[in-house]
Amino acid sequence: MLKIGNLTIDNPIFLAPMAGITDHPFRVLCRQMGAGVVYTEFVSSDGIVRENLKTMDLMRFTADERPIGIQIFGDDPETVGNSAKILNEKFDPDIIDINYGCPVPKVTKRGAGSGAMKDLCKMDDITQAVVEAVPLKPVTVKMRAGWDNESIISTEAAERLEKIGVKAITLHPRTTKQQFSGRSNWSYIKAMKEAVSIPVIGNGDVVTADDFMRMKDETGCDAVMIGRGALGNPWIFKAIQAKLNGTNFFHPTILDRAEMCKIHFELLKQDKHEKLCVNLSKKHFAWYIKGFSGAAEWRSKFVRSENIDEIESHLNELVNDFALNYSE
Ligand X SMILES: Cc1cc2nc3c(=O)[nH]c(=O)nc-3n(C[C@H](O)[C@H](O)[C@H](O)COP(=O)(O)O)c2cc1C
The DSSP call for residue 288 is H
**Phi, psi of 310, deg, nearest 5:** -65, -45
In this chain, which of 24, 27, 137, 142 binds ligand X, going by CB under 6 A?
Answer: 142
Q: What is the DSSP letter of 272?
A: S
Size of interface with ligand X, in residues (CB under 6 A)? 21
The least distance separating ligand X from the CB of residue 16, rounded to whole angstroms, comes to: 3
Is residue 99 a contact residue for ligand X (CB under 6 A)?
A: yes
φ/ψ of residue 142, rounded to 5: -120, 130
Q: Is 102 an annotated catalytic residue? A: yes
> Does residue 132 bind ligand X (CB under 6 A)?
no
Nearest approach, Cβ of residue 39 and ligand X (Å): 7
For 5, left (φ over 0), alpha (ψ -120 to 50), or beta? left
Q: Of the listed pieces 94-102, 153-161, 239-247, 272-280, which binds ligand X according to CB under 6 A?
A: 94-102
- Report the residue closest to ligand X, judged by CB: 227
Q: Using an 8 Å Cβ cutoff, are 58 and 43 in contact? A: yes
Exactly one of 172, 264, 272, 314 binds ligand X (CB under 6 A); that residue is 172
Q: What minimum distance in Å lies between the beta carbon of 179 and ligand X?
A: 10
Tell me: does residue 190 bind ligand X (CB under 6 A).
no
Q: Strand pairing of 38-44 and 68-73?
A: parallel
Residue 151 φ/ψ, nearest 5 degrees: -135, 65
Taking the complex as a whole, the smallest distance from the CB of residue 72 to ligand X amounts, in Å, to 10
Give CA–CA dist 144/117, Å, rounded: 8
Site string for ligand X, 5-44 (x = CB under 6 A): -----------xxxx-x-------------------xx--
> Per the residue annotation, which of 102, 221, 261, 277 is the catalytic one?
102
Per CB under 6 A, the list member of 3, 160, 214, 228 interacting with ligand X is 228
Distance between CA atoms of residues 97 and 140, nearest Å: 5
Handedness of CA 87, 89, 93, 98 (dihedral sign): positive
- C-alpha 111/C-alpha 120 separation (Å) is 11
Q: Is 115 in the site for ligand X (CB under 6 A)?
A: no
Residues 39-78 that bind ligand X (CB under 6 A): 41-42, 71
The answer to whether residue 203 forms part of the interface with ligand X (CB under 6 A) is yes
For 238, residues 6+ apart whose C-beta sits below 8 A from its C-beta are 33, 34, 249
Residues that bind ligand X (CB under 6 A): 16-19, 21, 41-42, 71, 99, 101-102, 142, 172, 203-206, 226-229
Q: Which residues are known catalytic residues?
A: 102
